[in-house]
Structure 1
């Protein structure tokens, strides 16, 4: 799924040029990079909050509650987030318009 991000970013640049006559590749690439970094920060904060709430103590024998929190963080939370991402991808309909958009952009650039 992560390999799709680069392709989808290029599709977004083409769609933006087709829809608004603005090719904002730099802006979209930097926004994507910022979003990834922001998401990693939020993800780390959520993980730390879950472990903290469960009573996790580093370098100590863990309680049953903290072991369940570790399991949730490394198995269930990624599974939930991946499922949500897959559901979001079901609404990605660029492929149906791609040939029309590319041909119209080529005509416009050629003119």
Structure 2
């Protein structure tokens, strides 16, 4: 189903804000600046692929081939939405570093 421009813009904004918020909260709680940026590829695998995660350990060749096929078949709009989520996690990391540098101990 193709995206309209409005749906695409709202999806980009939602993914950015969602993953910025999740990244900010995880960074604040765990005090590990880039934790969500490291976890984000796994989240993308869960979003893109519909096979169980344990299959990557039981049948890795088939699982990774399926993942590669699914990633190559993504539309440019889908890739843009997923990249906006990655941008949100990266910005959350930079925000945490800036807040810590300015002396906010909670962050």
TM-score (norm 2): 0.36
Q: Which has the higher contact order (CA 8 A, sep 6+)?
A: 2
TM-score (norm 1): 0.35
